[in-house]
Amino acid sequence: MIYNRLASAIVNDVYSGLAGLHHNISMSVEQLEDEIVATRLQVIKEYQLKGVLPLKDLLMAINCIPVDCKDLERCSECIKKDNGTPNMHFEIPQIINEFGYAAIAYIGSADRQNSFTFYISSDFTNKYQKYRKRGKNKPYVFIDPVPNENNMYDCYVFNAPMLK
């Protein structure tokens, strides 16, 4: 991963700059990686707000994402107790949450004919999806905006029986 290389370069620069001054320097590479991501997102946001970088230039197409089954509950005790409820699942890179729903232009079928409704907040999914008059059986995607163990966002697909 490129963040690991950047964090390693920063650690090396700091250690070489403080070579004779301190002997017990401790830095967490994971914390540096998180800071690199946060700084990158902040710079992108500032450039977009200034109008230097249009939002459409920030979009990236990720085609044919592999879909697997994963439990929506991340608690291992809940999975053991209730035998789990596997849902179709895929991962996407972290998005800029300040842009909200404009950060994602399209989620849907590979031929780009059927777009799926997507929700970033779990409250909206649970409250309003089941009460929709039209399209409540149409596929929708819940995006969990908490990074997982791979520093990616988990996305769960519902009402899409033909998805492979």
Per-residue pLDDT tens over the stretch 110-146? 888 888 888 887 666 556 666 677 767 788 888 988 8
What is the total count of domains within the chain? Answer: 2
Domain containing 31 equals: 2-54
Q: What's the confidence (pLDDT) of residue 91?
A: 92
Task: Establish if 76 belongs to a structural domain.
Answer: yes
Q: Is 143 exposed, middle or buried (0-12, 13-18, 19+ CB in 10 A)?
A: buried
Task: Establish if 164 belongs to a structural domain.
Answer: no
In the beta sheet, which residues pair with residue 115?
Answer: 108
Task: Establish if 135 belongs to a structural domain.
Answer: yes
Angle value at C-alpha 152, between 62 and 78, nearest 5 degrees: 125
Distance of CA 70 to the CA centre of its chain: 16
Q: Of residues 121 and 159, which shows the higher confidence score?
A: 159
Residues 96, 76 share a domain: yes
For residue 108, the 8-state DSSP code is B
Residues 126, 75 share a domain: yes
User: What digits encode the pLDDT tens for the residues 88-108?
Assistant: 899 998 887 777 788 888 888
User: Tokens standing for 80?
Assistant: 């053991």
Task: Establish if 163 belongs to a structural domain.
Answer: no
The mean pLDDT of the chain is 79
Of 71, 79, 77, 82, the residue nearest 144 (C-alpha): 71
User: What digits encode the pLDDT tens for the residues 12-46?
Assistant: 888 777 776 666 667 788 888 888 888 988 888 88
Residues 27, 96 share a domain: no
Q: How far apart are CA 61 and CA 140, in angstroms?
A: 19
Residues 82, 11 share a domain: no
Q: Is 128 exposed, middle or buried (0-12, 13-18, 19+ CB in 10 A)?
A: exposed
Q: How far apart are CA 37 and CA 96, in angstroms?
A: 10
Mean pLDDT of the 54-65 span: 83
Task: Establish if 71 belongs to a structural domain.
Answer: yes
